[in-house]
Amino acid sequence: MNANLLQTPIDYLKGVGPNRAELLRKEMGIHTYQDLINFFPNRYLDKTRFYKVKELLPSNAEVQIIGKIVGFKTVEQKRGKRLVADFIDDTGRMELVWFRGHKWIRENLKVNTPYVIFGKTNNYGGIFSMAHPDMELLEEHEKSLRTAMQPIYPSSEKLTNKGITNRVVNKLMQQLFIETRGRFFDTLSEDIKGNLSLISRADALFNVHFPKSQELLAKAQFRLKFEELFYIQMQLLIKNMMQKQKIKGFVFDKIGHYFDDFYKNHLPFELTGAQKRVIKEIRSDLGSGAQLNRLLQGDVGSGKTIVALMCMLIALDNDFQACLMAPTEILATQHFQGLKELCEGLDINIALLTGSVKTARRRVIHEQLEDGTLNILIGTHALLEDKVKFQNLGLAIIDEQHRFGVAQRAKLWHKNHLPPHILVMTATPIPRTLAMSLYGDLDVSVIDELPPGRQPIKTVHRYDSNRLKVFRFIKDEIQKGRQIYIVYPLIQESEKMDYKDLMDGYESIAREFPMPDYQISIVHGQMKPADKDYEMERFVKGETQIMVATTVIEVGVNVPNASVMIIESAERFGLSQLHQLRGRVGRGAEQSYCILMTSHKLSEEGKTRLQTMTATNDGFEIAEVDLKLRGPGDLMGTQQSGILNLKIADIVKDNQILKVARDFAKRVLSEDPELKMEKNKMIRYTYQQLAKHKNIWNYIS
């Protein structure tokens, strides 16, 4: 197929013209023949099967039935009337309903004559009904020739209003196949097609737009989804390979005084097997001569900070500096305090740089960085400022990476003549499927066990009506000397409302837990930072037993004595947020609890979230459910979702295909890293086109 033909502007397709072309470009991003061929239906009406009335299920599905009308009646209702027809087949009866067009329907529909009806079924009081069905006489239906699986294309209100209906898109698609004669070259090797019994690309494109059966449609979708995911994986794997060949990293070949001294004399507890494994993986990367580019995933409380410190000590042992960048000041400060404590007695100069550090202190930090007397710098985005120059930065650790754009990561690279080793850490477990696509160019390490002596947190869901029992439970825990968090949701749109919710809650808690027997801290977004710190400090020192707060405590506060986390209006929180909040307790040796409070009114999704939280403490499992509920774009924030602008595959539903695609991409590259073999000719050509156009589908045809 002549690839140039596919770059023809859509205006030239018969039936389009300048006005329609403008709409298609604006509303659907369809500029060329190529874009139209890759504009895939998002669902299909299955008209291959005829149902009997007695086979209907209350599923609100679209079905097709043969039967006849045996009578009409008009039913009065609050506004106007509805026309109801009795419709029967040889297994039972149902109702057809019209809310408008009564006169035309009564005059034109024949009684006791076989019809094919199609539409959505409803079930009220055990009787099935179908509103405004599509109707066609059976004999007409048998004469007409059409595809039994009807594709439904994505649309917008504007398109429909301007007359570009689904039927019109379908006609344009037919025209496109006539003009191109449906000839599309293949993009995969015979090897892969044979191995997976894939149909050809041309057949796949035809059957995705004009499927004759469920089976052919499934084959077409599998082929196109595999191809899309295969090339994304090729891209990521090649990027990773090139990085390792092209970007030389500093060789950290010494394990010296800092690391050994810390490991033998200052380690506060025995490392878990998972921590040891991860440190070993990172050490071998650091000594390999290639740049370290690794994602370190560990659930809340799994001990990533110690791993980060030990990697920094390897950098120091090799006469390099290290830095750690966190997304918020609270988190950066907490890392700083934690690491400072761990480094006591090690003769390490460690500093904190955030937006609120005073000018005089900044000057000292800048000087010490440049003359090499500052070993470790911890901070926020402030580390990226041009003034911040290291003498020799060897390792950069980025915490909660998904809050930093890729451009920000690159800025750290340019602080040096050679890019530093990069270790990305996250406590937001990223499902494997997403990690393979978003971070496919990074190597991944996972800390998947909690430090010894930690007990799993018990999580329960309670309705507002059980509040008094919950208060009794809190009093018992305080009696044992424990501390309690009570968290209220933050609904960004209305700070006043949040404040009111928080204050109402605070007052009812103050009534139930009166002074002087109880002391309560309160922290919310409208307080001055100094007041916040003072209240936090009182709680950390154990001067107050209860901390009432909005979600400012989500990331980072470490109070081992706090054993109960109560989350008010828990249905308003996302799953990963609930999981992060729960991770604030369970940091000591005592049994900890998380209590999710809600009203009785819960959406289906709300119920799923609460059930997931009570069923498991595993952050990865929770992330998988979250991914299914929210979709990949939401989960990673906007800056990451760009890469996943997929046309036909779905990262969540197609994760099995994704794994197969990644395996095949690895196989091809390990045998033929430069794609020079004759059998991989098509893959090489397609990949080059892809690299040129950046958008995976613009070239495949």
Question: For residue 98, what are the domain limits?
Answer: 49-147
**pLDDT for residue 239:** 80
The DSSP letter of residue 263 is I
Q: How many residues does the chain have?
A: 701
- Both 412 and 510 in one domain: the answer is no
Q: Return d(Cα 381, Cα 120) in angstroms, integer.
A: 54
- Both 405 and 502 in one domain: the answer is no
Q: Which residue has the higher pLDDT, 494 or 504?
A: 504
Indicate whether 657 belongs to any domain: no
**pLDDT for residue 235:** 84
**pLDDT for residue 503:** 81
**pLDDT for residue 404:** 56
**pLDDT for residue 494:** 56
Q: Return d(Cα 560, Cα 423) in angstroms, integer.
A: 27
- Both 479 and 418 in one domain: the answer is no
**pLDDT for residue 637:** 42
- Both 384 and 515 in one domain: the answer is no
Residue 443: CB partners within 8 Å, gap ≥ 6?
A: 240, 281, 285, 293, 294, 295
H, E, C per residue of 264-286: HHHCCCCCCHHHHHHHHHHHHHH
pTM here is 0.62
Q: Return d(Cα 273, Cα 82) in angstroms, integer.
A: 70
Indicate whether 584 belongs to any domain: yes
Q: Return d(Cα 230, Cα 215) in angstroms, integer.
A: 22
For residue 618, is pLDDT > 50?
Answer: yes
Please name which of 184, 196, 116, 319 lies closest in space to residue 661, comparing C-alpha atoms: 196
**pLDDT for residue 646:** 74
Please name which of 611, 608, 623, 553 lies closest in space to residue 582, comparing C-alpha atoms: 553
High-pLDDT (> 90) share of the chain, % = 36
Residue 2: CB partners within 8 Å, gap ≥ 6?
A: none
Indicate whether 631 belongs to any domain: no
Q: Return d(Cα 436, Cα 649) in angstroms, integer.
A: 14
Q: Return d(Cα 481, Cα 339) in angstroms, integer.
A: 28
Confidence tier at 262 by pLDDT (50, 70, 90)? very high
**pLDDT for residue 626:** 81
- Both 392 and 494 in one domain: the answer is no
- Both 602 and 507 in one domain: the answer is yes
Q: Which of 405, 426, 447 is the last residue of a domain?
A: 426
Q: What is the pLDDT of residues 285-323, one digit of tens each?
A: 898 888 888 888 887 677 888 999 999 999 999 999 999
The DSSP letter of residue 400 is S
- CA 164 from centre of chain: 33
Q: Return d(Cα 536, Cα 575) in angstroms, integer.
A: 25
**pLDDT for residue 498:** 58
**DSSP one-letter string for 564-614:** EEEETTGGGS-HHHHHHHHTTS--SSS--EEEEEE-S---HHHHHHHHHHH
- Find tokens 């009534």 and name the residue: 511
**pLDDT for residue 1:** 52
Q: Which residue has the higher pLDDT, 245 or 547?
A: 547
Indicate whether 601 belongs to any domain: yes
Confidence tier at 642 by pLDDT (50, 70, 90)? very low
Indicate whether 371 belongs to any domain: yes
Arithmetic mean of pLDDT, 462-473? 92
Please name which of 386, 430, 419 lies closest in space to residue 320, comparing C-alpha atoms: 419
Within 13 Å of residue 554, how many CA atoms lie on the same side as its CB? 19
Residue 228: CB partners within 8 Å, gap ≥ 6?
A: 646, 647, 648, 649, 696, 697
Arithmetic mean of pLDDT, 509-518? 90
**pLDDT for residue 66:** 94
- Both 373 and 462 in one domain: the answer is no
* Bond into 632 cis (ω within 30): no
Q: Which of 594, 616, 638 is the last residue of a domain?
A: 616
CATH of the domain at 113: 2.40.50.140
- Both 468 and 408 in one domain: the answer is no
Q: Which residue has the higher pLDDT, 417 or 108?
A: 108
- Both 490 and 560 in one domain: the answer is yes
Please tell me whether residue 6 adopts helix, strand or coil conformation. helix
H, E, C per residue of 92-146: EEEEEEECCCHHHHHHHCCCCCCEEEEEEEEEECCEEEEECCEEEEHHHHHHCCC
Indicate whether 163 belongs to any domain: no
For residue 90, which phi and psi values (nearest 5 degrees)?
A: -75, 5
Arithmetic mean of pLDDT, 388-415? 74
**DSSP one-letter string for 450-473:** PPTTPPPPEEEEEEGGGHHHHHHH
Residue 108: CB partners within 8 Å, gap ≥ 6?
A: none
Arithmetic mean of pLDDT, 633-643? 41
Q: What is the pLDDT of residues 406-463, one digit of tens each?
A: 556 567 666 666 788 989 888 777 766 666 666 666 778 888 777 777 788 999 999 9
For residue 681, which phi and psi values (nearest 5 degrees)?
A: -60, -45
Confidence tier at 495 by pLDDT (50, 70, 90)? low
| Mean pLDDT across the chain | 84
For residue 347, is pLDDT > 50?
Answer: yes
High-pLDDT (> 70) share of the chain, % = 88
Indicate whether 241 belongs to any domain: no
Q: Which of 586, 616, 646 is the last residue of a domain?
A: 616
Indicate whether 609 belongs to any domain: yes
**pLDDT for residue 4:** 74
- Both 409 and 471 in one domain: the answer is no
Among the ranges given (60-64, 271-275, 346-350, 383-387), the one the predictor scored with the smallest mean pLDDT: 60-64
Residue 166 tokens read as: 């689904």
- Find tokens 């196949």 and name the residue: 177
* Structural domains of the chain, count: 3
CATH of the domain at 346: 3.40.50.300
- Both 419 and 492 in one domain: the answer is no
- Both 517 and 412 in one domain: the answer is no
Q: How many other C-beta atoms are found inside a 10 Å radius of the C-beta of residue 506? A: 18
For residue 699, is pLDDT > 50?
Answer: no
